[in-house]
Structure 1
Amino acid sequence: MALEVSVIATSSLGDRSYLASDGQVGVVVDPQRDIDRILYLAGETGVRITHVVETHIHNDYVSGGLELARLTGAHYLVAAADEVDFDRMAVSDGDQVAVSDSMQLRVIATPGHTFHHLSYVLDESTEGGWQAAGVFTGGSLLFGTTGRTDLLGQEHAHELAHHQHASAERLADLLPDGAEVWPTHGFGSFCSASQSNAPESTIGREKLANPVLKLAADEFVTETLAGLGAYPAYYAHMGVANFAGPAPVDLTPVTRGDSAQLRERIANGQWVVDLRHRKAYATSHVAGTVSLGLDGPMSTWLGWMIDWSVPITLLAETPEQVADAQRELVRIGIDRPAAQATGQPEQWVTGPEELRQLRLSDFPALAAARAGNAPAGLPAADVVLDVRMTNEWRTNHIDGAVHIPLPDLPKRLTDVPAGAVWVHCGSGYRATAAASLLANAGREVVVIDDKFDQAEAAGVAMASDA
């Protein structure tokens, strides 16, 4: 049987894990912490997991590799140079690991994303001998880009960028053009230096399209470092957890909180997060809550904004939505929410005075408001607040707008000038989160629930730092 490589996508974090198998035994690469997905896939296909491998000590999520290896009895492959606090099969550049009669792994040192980063070539047995089917590249060679090089500190970014270039060239030299490229990052992950929409790729395609294989080393390093934006604050906790060896996850239902408990948690400054869609939140929500709908990267923004030890309570329409949120949160090391409640907002309060609405609008209305003709029911646009990231702001922004990236807003609420605030992002998700924070601070706020690329056509004056 030909080898099969299945993708286990975690779109909310922009990552992929993999299960490679020959129909009988399997290798798992860079598993997320909620390993039940992988165990289900292996069971469904009748595959016994014999090897679990890590391309690197991850900075963007808590790994499930240690627990998966423990449960399955698989060999756990981790770079020998990484000083971890658990037993593993230490591997280094040049090692060959026999998996079965039909497949083997070859270990290639590909520093750049981290100092001890490894890639794993998956070799398939053929009549002519072993042949490279593809390579698991982790945060090294990605689709059209590479993994970022600044996660271990800015002081290492330049050196690691040079390593990244050399590693990509080494992979391109060692492997045939037809070899598949299977990266972990690059699908929205902040671990990626830039993003690609490609669903798959090969070494040959990367030679034609990837800047790391087209630019000289110095030019690549300069361009890469110039393009790096901010990354989530919770990354600081991920490497620590992964070096120590993550504990098993507990995805059992969270304790229910009644209306009095919810009110007390809000009064105590805890985060009570409404997981419903932002339009439902705008229609009615509990005063003091924060909007982070499950339709967007909830865990990324929540993990980025909170103080790490603050208890979190989840509000949703159904228990299944709470369970989905729990799964998202354990991936970044938030193990157990403090409480949860399901249903509708009126069930979460002791009286209607605890409910609040949020006004939604669009860019044509903003243009009218800035011209002194605010639509009925909407305030003047005293302040336009842009909560996109800095790289987005530099590309193009509204003339006269105030810029505070969403992750910075909880600690910079007092920096927002006085007056009614019209807040926008790229589409409305981050703007609604920001508006909920502003409203909790007593500000009059309007959410621009509209695509930013429609602003100029709507008559909003633009500016650019480019």
Structure 2
Amino acid sequence: MFFIDVIEVPGLGNRGYLAGGERTGVVVDPPRDIDRVITVAARRGVRISHVVETHVHNDYVSGGLELARVTGAAYLVPAAAHVSFERTPVHDGDSVAVDAGLALRALATPGHTPHHISYVLEDDGTAVAVFTGGSLLIGTVGRPDLVEPRLTERLARAQHASARRLAAELPDDTAVLPTHGFGSFCSSAQMAGGDTTIGKEKASNDALTRDVDAFVAGLLAGLDDIPAYYTHMGPANAAGPAPVDLTPPAQADPEAIAGRLEAGEWVVDLRHRVAFAEGHVAGSFNFEAQGQLATYLAWLIPWGKPVTLLAESAEQLAAAQRELARVGIDRPAAAATGAPADWLRPGERPASFRRATFADLAAHPRDGVVALDVRRDSERAGGHVEGSVHLPVHTLQRRLDEVPAGQVWVHCAGGMRAAVAASLLDAAGRDVVAVDDGFDAAEQAGLVVRNG
């Protein structure tokens, strides 16, 4: 008998896996915070014998090197990956025993990266699952443009060939278990569903239903923006990440918070956008702890800029610190818990701004009003409010001077990114209204929505 446990990393849209038998198990693409993986293995009562990477990751800091060191497991990394640490190099066709009757076999599947390898879990010689990393995903494939722009088309064609290799060599009932694609920007398209098989992918995945030229054209046309912090993830993983440090950060009192703001550092309020809009420390930015905190904070913050976290509770702070460590924001400069009254100096009043809906925007006189759309280019192409200004949220901080004069009503697709943008504008002294509403409500409210 074998088992496969999923290790969800929802904030980044990724999954790691622990698979094994009665005594031992193998970990695939582990997150930075390896204590979670060790806990899963302890619950199963298995020893981790192998830690494997499908590729050098571009979207998060891997915990693989440290997990292998702590557990004494063999660390398997594709042989063609250029790394600076000792590991067991893996070549196409290599096989390792996992437990009685269980083995892991490597299949070269370049495309997401040139060195990418998928791993087939075999039970008594029969393929039962394949860990596909950033190769074959659910209904799509991993994006091919994260390594080097000049390689993008070549890697897109390799993705097509790799997907077809998996489909040709594995039984239809083989479970497909990707690392990316559950909200990750490493996916070339949005996925539907949480599980799949080789047979299901044969019927629905463009890589398996379209010829190579049509597939590549569609893939390249659909590629979205790349988070800025991805630039730092590959080098960190190739060098060998340091062990994660999740000990509590230094506590910041109101004077320290004010001092850090005055020094130009980032003070990030983790509370829900409703609470932030009602009252916050002037100059602080709002990145909700729930949602894609790590993705958007790491995307927007100048790399290496000290960050102080403001949280409602120690639990919220610890969870945020863990999530940020996964993308290389290792140690907050300081932190504080509570509410604005605990973070402001005597005599200071909290800042605030208005929240509204698209119906409010439709009913409001348009003179002196700027409708600011902070969605990505691909989202805006599907429809936008007529007359709105477009500045994607990940570009806003460096383009604040491009926001026209007037009261700024800022919106996204659902409200979270609008709150981030509103906090940036508020900190810059602009009169801002955060549209906390779903974009589908814009046309229903009577606003003119144009395509393209």
Kindly indicate whether residue 452 of structure 2 is the aligned counterpart of residue 457 of structure 1.
Answer: no
Q: CA deviation at 1:347?
A: 0.7
> Can you list the C-alpha shifts for 1:238-271, whole angstroms capped at 9, x where unaligned?
0000000001000011100010010011111111
The one-letter code of the counterpart of 1:148 is: R
CA contact (8 A) 2:270 2:311 kept: yes
| Worse-superposed segment, 270-279 or 347-356 | 347-356
> Can you list the C-alpha shifts for 1:172-193, whole angstroms capped at 9, x where unaligned?
0000001000000010000000
Kindly indicate whether residue 323 of structure 2 is the aligned counterpart of residue 323 of structure 1.
Answer: no
Q: CA deviation at 1:309?
A: 1.4
Alignment partner, residue 327 of structure 2 = 332
> Can you list the C-alpha shifts for 1:140-176, whole angstroms capped at 9, x where unaligned?
0000000000001221110000000000000000000
Matches within 5 A, 1:256-405: 256-370=251-365, 382-405=369-392
Q: CA deviation at 1:351?
A: 3.1
Q: Distance in 2 between matches of 1:282 and 1:67?
A: 40
The one-letter code of the counterpart of 1:356 is: A
Kindly indicate whether residue 219 of structure 2 is the aligned counterpart of residue 232 of structure 1.
Answer: no
Kindly indicate whether residue 35 of structure 2 is the aligned counterpart of residue 32 of structure 1.
Answer: no
CA contact (8 A) 2:20 2:98 kept: no
Alignment partner, residue 158 of structure 1 = 153
The one-letter code of the counterpart of 1:391 is: S
> Can you list the C-alpha shifts for 1:250-299, whole angstroms capped at 9, x where unaligned?
00111000100100111111110000000010111000000001122111
Q: Distance in 1 between matches of 2:130 and 2:43?
A: 25
What value does the CA root-mean-square deviation take over the aligned residues? Answer: 0.9
Kindly indicate whether residue 31 of structure 2 is the aligned counterpart of residue 5 of structure 1.
Answer: no
Alignment partner, residue 376 of structure 1 = none
Alignment partner, residue 432 of structure 1 = 419
| Worse-superposed segment, 104-113 or 292-301 | 292-301
Alignment partner, residue 240 of structure 2 = 245
Matches within 5 A, 1:10-29: 10-29=9-28
Q: CA deviation at 1:354?
A: 4.1
Alignment partner, residue 80 of structure 1 = 79
> Can you list the C-alpha shifts for 1:280-329, whole angstroms capped at 9, x where unaligned?
10111000000001122111111001111110000011011110011011
Alignment partner, residue 88 of structure 2 = 89
Q: Distance in 2 between matches of 1:320 and 1:381?
A: 43
Q: Distance in 2 between matches of 1:339 and 1:78?
A: 36
Q: CA deviation at 1:344?
A: 0.9
Alignment partner, residue 120 of structure 1 = 119
Q: CA deviation at 1:133?
A: 0.6
**Residue number among 398, 401, 410 corresponding to 2:397 in the alignment:** 410
Q: Distance in 2 between matches of 1:352 and 1:287?
A: 13
CA contact (8 A) 1:146 1:212 kept: yes
**TM-score normalised by length of structure 1:** 0.96
Where 1:355 maps in the other structure, the secondary structure is: coil
Unaligned runs of 5+ in 1: 373-379
> Can you list the C-alpha shifts for 1:4-55, whole angstroms capped at 9, x where unaligned?
1000010110000000011210000000100100100101110100000000
Q: Distance in 2 between matches of 1:24 and 1:381?
A: 69
CA contact (8 A) 1:109 1:117 kept: yes
Kindly indicate whether residue 385 of structure 2 is the aligned counterpart of residue 421 of structure 1.
Answer: no
Alignment partner, residue 42 of structure 1 = 41
Q: Distance in 1 between matches of 2:28 and 2:404?
A: 48
**TM-score normalised by length of structure 2:** 0.99
Where 1:353 maps in the other structure, the secondary structure is: coil
CA contact (8 A) 1:112 1:167 kept: yes
Q: Distance in 2 between matches of 1:118 and 1:270?
A: 41
Aligned structure 1 segments of 4 or more residues deviating by more than 6 angstroms: none
Where 2:103 maps in the other structure, the secondary structure is: strand
Alignment partner, residue 443 of structure 1 = 430
Kindly indicate whether residue 191 of structure 2 is the aligned counterpart of residue 191 of structure 1.
Answer: no
CA contact (8 A) 2:188 2:223 kept: yes
Where 1:281 maps in the other structure, the secondary structure is: helix
Kindly indicate whether residue 53 of structure 2 is the aligned counterpart of residue 54 of structure 1.
Answer: yes
Unaligned runs of 5+ in 2: none
Q: CA deviation at 1:97?
A: 1.3
Alignment partner, residue 102 of structure 1 = 101
CA contact (8 A) 2:21 2:100 kept: no
CA contact (8 A) 1:366 1:381 kept: no
Where 1:427 maps in the other structure, the secondary structure is: coil
Assess, with a 3 A threshold, how the Cα gap between structure 1 residues 254 and 438 changes in structure 2: closer, same or farther.
same
Kindly indicate whether residue 161 of structure 2 is the aligned counterpart of residue 174 of structure 1.
Answer: no
The one-letter code of the counterpart of 2:10 is: S
Q: Distance in 1 between matches of 2:414 and 2:263?
A: 31
Q: Distance in 2 between matches of 1:27 and 1:415?
A: 51
Alignment partner, residue 212 of structure 1 = 207
The one-letter code of the counterpart of 2:448 is: A
Q: Distance in 1 between matches of 2:340 and 2:143?
A: 41
Q: Distance in 2 between matches of 1:408 and 1:65?
A: 32
Q: Distance in 1 between matches of 2:147 and 2:74?
A: 27
Q: CA deviation at 1:100?
A: 2.3
CA contact (8 A) 2:25 2:99 kept: no
Q: Distance in 2 between matches of 1:158 and 1:299?
A: 29
Where 2:196 maps in the other structure, the secondary structure is: coil
Q: Distance in 2 between matches of 1:268 and 1:429?
A: 27
> Can you list the C-alpha shifts for 1:86-143, whole angstroms capped at 9, x where unaligned?
1111110011112222210111000000000000000001xxxx10011000000000
Aligned length: 452
